[in-house]
Amino acid sequence: MLQGCQSIRTPFRDNEHRSLRAGEIVLLSGFVYCARDAAHLRFQEAIQKEEKLPLNLSDETIFYAAPTPTRADGSIGAIGPTTSSRMDTFTPALLKQTGLKGMIGKGFRSEVVRDAIFSNRAIYLGAIGGVAALIRKYVLSVRTVAYADLSAEAVLCVELVDFPLVVVIDSLGNQIGA
């Protein structure tokens, strides 16, 4: 375990995420949903049509990742963050309409997304890119929960334990490096 890190759990029902500040390192445990571009497009289409999403995202966290196939031993393959800015066009509506509270990815977000994070009291956490094969050790379980037809970009529910992350944008809209 990393020294001096705060441990937090998903979902963020108790608003614990609001006490975190940009630049802090946290260890995240609990369930998150892996969803990338194709799933976000479907989320957006459902929101625009005022249809119910196939999962409840209220107080939940999305990890912008698409793991490689499960290994023969039953564990997840590599799982690494994708560039978060690719989801920026979808993020403000998703935060406002679903109650989503956390996002995990890599890279910076647009000013519009930063404002939406602040307005919705959400948080954006950064994962280390380029170490997908090592990150898998923080994954306890994985299952498909929506859009199985998207194959590698299906929405997965992944259980994490002590997954090290950095707070990139906190619920007050503060951003590291800004």
- Read off the pLDDT of each residue in 127-136 and give the average, rounded to a whole number: 74
Q: How many domains does the chain have?
A: 1
107 in a domain, yes or no? yes
Average pLDDT over residues 100-108: 96
Looking at residue 24, its pLDDT comes to 95
Which amino acid is present at 84?
Answer: S
Confidence of residue 176 (pLDDT cuts 50, 70, 90): very high
CB atoms within 10 A of CB 157: 16
**pLDDT, tens only, 8-54:** 999 998 888 999 999 999 999 999 999 999 999 999 999 999 999 99
Between CA 169 and CA 102 the distance in angstroms is: 10
pLDDT for 79: 82
Domain limits for position 115: 12-169
pTM score above 0.85? yes
Distance CA(149)–CA(128), nearest Å, equals 28
pLDDT at 74 over 80: no
Could you tell me the CATH number of the domain that includes residue 65?
A: 3.20.130.10
pLDDT score for 13? 86
Is residue 5 one of the residues assigned to a domain? Answer: no
Say if 78 falls within a structural domain.
yes
Cα 100 from Cα 62, distance rounded (Å): 8
Task: Flag whether 174 is in a domain.
Answer: no
What span, in angstroms and rounded, lies between the C-alpha atoms of 178 and 176? 5
Average pLDDT of the residues of the chain? 90
Residue-level pLDDT at 95 = 97
In a domain, 36, yes or no: yes
pLDDT at residue 72 greater than cutoff 90: no
Q: Is there a domain that residue 44 lies in?
A: yes
pLDDT of residue 142: 84
Average pLDDT rounded to a whole number, residues 53-81: 85
Distance CA 41, CA 39 (A): 5
